[in-house]
Amino acid sequence: MLSKFLPIELRKYFQMSKRQRQHELQNTLWFTPFIYVASALFLIAITLYLDYQVEISQYVPSFFHAQATSSQTLLAALIGGILTLSAFTLNSILVVLTTFSGQFSPRMLVNFVADRSTQHVLGIFHGSFVYVLVVFLFVTSQRNEYFVAIPGTTVFLAFLTVMVFIFFINHAVTWMQVHNITITMNDASKEIIRESLRNELEEFRTKEPGDLYDRYKGEEVIATAPRVGYIQLIQFNTILEEARKDDIIIKLHTKVGDFTLENNRLFSYWGPGKDNIDEVKYRSLIEIGHKETEIQDIKMGMTKLAEIGVKGIGNNDPNTTINTIHQMADLLVSVDSYITFTPYLQDSAEQVRIIMDSEDFGYYLYRGFGYIRHYARENYPIITEIIVALTLAAQSIDPDKHDTLWDFANNTVDHIGTEFIYDMDRKYLLDKLYDLALMTDHEFDYYKAERRLLKVQPTDS
């Protein structure tokens, strides 16, 4: 009831699941500073108690005593100083966000905002400012009063804010370096794989579908989406347990990250218990929102990496694109290592309960390198680097994915323009393609691509 009186920006958090609420709060700039401000109020109470009630000045050497007038002067000076540093910090954040949006990807903004270092820096500045401001109101001008805890804490906070400001400048400069950005994106995507895909789903995956209740399939019931938006989170564990209790099989018609319209197909179900199903209960376990989130969506992380590579091509910055390609290859290896490409999830009794609308390895390969390949067009060094990355990945993934890697590379080379290509570009490209062919056991197919590229006549210099 009380949530109705809150602003809509705060009310939405009460309508989210616990996991989604934690994710959203982490991606905001106000939550962590709010904790620091609350801590500052607690620190104010402690220091005031020590100076006014305990009168700690009686128990420490006079060297640490500060008169009320001196404390007031110190506090008045530090209020402006800390506020100035806070303003410079906020200005630096705006510069970083503008650079990210224009040079890399608008979707990178949330990553810098959600970075723990960024949030703690803002929290320290705001907490220190609130402390100094509030304590200033309690310090009187009586000359016979001496303070110890208040000026000591104030000096410490002033020193802390200066050090934090220096740290933040270094943090922002370091964060904006391309290799750190791509590594951060790679690590974030790996975290999604480990936490959301491996830990939540792998123990329930099975390659053998078993009894799919085909005798009930003719009575399949379609459940539609209650509203428009993106699929942000699917609570697979809870759906599995509820489907076991209701003795049904649920087929998901959408994936995390998909966009759905109102009354589009969301899921269908069939089985012995289908007549007693509460569809609202299952709809509530599939969260739909107005934006994509990275809670379970590894594709979004791969898209961010790909956008950085595409921006590098557009900005004539090949090193950025090459670094992105290397990180994408590492992420692709993680996808193969942690994900079992099967759509079936079974319960504890080894009965399939969920059939997912899943993707295969080729889908993730395309999401990672397809966009970069498209925008590279006739940028042969970038195309060659993609083939090098695929060769490296082929050495680390299961051999059953080698055909997919070769088909992607061969298709890429097959659509290279034949009007103009430097001799050295062609030679280096063929050398790297041959390495991939040997690694994936497609040497015979390589010669077809070689004959095609050798037909390209070099232009007269």
Q: Tell me if residue 195 falls in helix, strand or coil.
A: helix
Q: Could you report how far apart the first and last alpha carbons of the chain are, in Å?
A: 78
**Amino acid identity, position 320:** T
Burial of 62 per CB tally in 10 Å (0-12, 13-18, 19+): exposed
d(CA 345, CA 236): 9
What is the CB neighbour count within 10 angstroms for residue 316?
7
Q: In terms of residues, how long is the chain? A: 461
d(CA 378, CA 313): 11
CB-side exposure of 132: number of CA atoms within 13 Å?
A: 27
Domain layout of the chain by residue ranges: 2-176, 377-461
Report pLDDT digits (tens) over 136-192. Answer: 888 765 555 777 888 888 889 888 988 998 898 888 888 877 778 888 888 888 887
d(CA 168, CA 366): 37
d(CA 193, CA 306): 18
CB 246 within 8 A of CB 351: no
Q: Which residues, 6+ apart, have CB-to-CB distance to 259 below 8 Å? A: 229, 230, 231
CB 254 within 8 A of CB 231: yes
pTM of the model: 0.78
Per-residue pLDDT of the chain (461 residues; tens, 9 = 90+): 455 656 666 666 666 767 677 767 777 778 888 999 999 999 999 998 888 887 777 777 665 666 667 777 888 888 888 888 888 887 877 777 777 666 776 777 777 777 888 889 889 988 998 988 888 888 765 555 777 888 888 889 888 988 998 898 888 888 877 778 888 888 888 887 777 677 778 888 888 888 899 898 888 999 999 999 999 889 998 999 999 999 999 999 998 889 999 999 999 999 998 888 889 999 999 999 888 887 778 888 888 888 889 988 888 888 989 999 999 999 999 888 888 888 899 988 889 999 998 778 898 999 889 989 999 888 889 999 999 999 999 999 999 999 999 999 999 988 776 556 778 888 899 999 999 999 999 998 898 888 887 775 444 43
